[in-house]
Amino acid sequence: MNLLYLPIHEVLEFDDLRLFKALGHTAFSTGPFGRPGFASALRGAEHDLGSPEHHDAFVRQPPAFHGGIPILAPAFLDRFDVIVANQDPRFVTHNAAALAGRHVIWRTVGQARRLTERSVWKAGRDLFVVRCSNREAQMPGFLPTDAVVPFAKHPADHGPWAGAGGRILTFFNTIGRGDAIPGDADYAAIVAGFDADLYGPGNDGLSAARGFAPPDLQAALFRRCGAYLYVHSELACYTLNLIEALMSGVPVVAPSARFVARRARDANWHARRYEVPEILAGGAGLLYDSVEEARLQLRAVLDGTIDIAAMSARARARAVALFSADRIAPLWAETLARAVAAPPFRAGGHATVLGLRARHLWQRVRRLPGLPASLPGLTGRVDSQHQAR
């Protein structure tokens, strides 16, 4: 198939295009990896993920942009079998007329809001909705879900964990921005007295701030750190940096659902969103209910009070079982085939919130085909850089 990929996140774009290429598809992205010779600051340039022919056609449109969103010409869209629009509803709302009659996947990344879902609903009918989490699929007021496809990572890219470092590692952009859990004050209290490294822009002012880490350094940091202190984005189900830490075999210390619930402030937050405790089940990581408990857990990991070798093995096994590209690729293959067989997108109409509620009621009565009750061990994200996830 020829796929048009409309991205919002550079690392996720890389992961998806790499997987689509492995499945034998030609995918063109309107983002960074669609540019010939693009040198990514966040991922290696050794993977040729571009499509020069589609890029040339995209440039010849000439492409127009509205608020950073490409306005796509129907003649350009004719080149593609499926359009994969990631998360931002404006990909659909700004291009609704041109997308009409085409197979459009709206792929959410775990941070949707009710207003986001409703704006897409009002743009038209028969979007094929793909989510990264069954937990997001269960959110009240959201569009009915057609498929659940978790994020994918290649195990060979991560680890092995050396286990020799005594430093606490975290990747997160702008930890003081409001949706970080733990936030800057809690983070500072947790790591006080420890050797800690916080990578990602926007963290100036914190003693642990280390700035941006290029791809090779990111991998090396995962391999040699003593523990990974996970910082969660409030509306996410899970994040890419959590997957990468686990797949590297790093002992992960993360906030519990109770800790997150006490600090969540966004009206769109819901207890169903937070999947991290399930991902860390079976001893794949540690969960804390308080700052004090987080400190005790980090100390136990760093001084060897707990069996960190066994935890490391469980962490990697869990990540591979849930997020390995070998497991996710068949899910994408099936999803793309179903999307092409489904009715094409219909722009306009008289979409109302009442109609969305009726659609939810119908889904409850007759569950849509292809959506499993739950994925094995996984009932359920990202920001705009690896270090923000």
Residue spans of alpha helices (H) in 78-152: 90-93, 96-99, 114-123, 134-137
Q: CA dihedral defined by 6, 10, 378, 169, rounded to 10 degrees? A: -170
pLDDT at 379: 33
Helix (H) / strand (E) element for 277: namely helix 276-279
pLDDT at 352: 53
> Which residues face 324 on adjacent strands?
153
* Structural domains of the chain, with CATH: 2-152+326-383 (3.40.50), 155-323 (3.40.50.2000)
Measuring CA to CA, which residue among 105, 56, 55, 49 is closest to residue 81? 105
Using only C-alpha atoms, what is the Rg of the chain? 21
User: How many CA atoms does the CB half-sphere of 310 hold within 13 Å?
Assistant: 7
Output b/e per residue, 266-283; b: 16+ Cβ within 10 A: eebbbebbbbbebbbeee
Instruction: Report the alpha-carbon distance of residue 300 to residue 305 in Å, rounded.
Output: 5
pLDDT at 382: 32
Q: Kindly give the interhelix angle for 240-247 and 10-22, rounded to the nearest 10 degrees.
A: 60
Q: Rounded to two decimals, what is the model's pTM?
A: 0.87
- Pairing relationship of beta strands 346-347 and 124-125 according to DSSP bridges: antiparallel
Output b/e per residue, 362-376; b: 16+ Cβ within 10 A: eeeeeeeeebeeebe
User: Locate tokens 């093995």: which residue?
Assistant: 313
pLDDT at 47: 63
Q: What is the pLDDT along the chain (389 residues), one digit of tens a residue?
A: 999 999 999 899 999 999 999 999 999 999 888 877 666 656 665 567 778 888 888 888 766 888 889 999 999 999 999 999 999 999 999 999 999 999 999 999 988 889 999 999 999 989 999 999 999 998 888 999 999 999 999 999 999 999 877 999 999 999 999 999 999 999 999 999 999 999 999 999 999 999 999 888 999 999 999 999 999 999 999 999 999 999 999 999 999 999 999 999 999 998 889 999 999 999 999 999 999 999 999 999 999 999 999 999 999 999 999 999 999 999 999 999 999 999 999 997 645 555 555 555 555 554 444 444 444 334 332 332 233 33
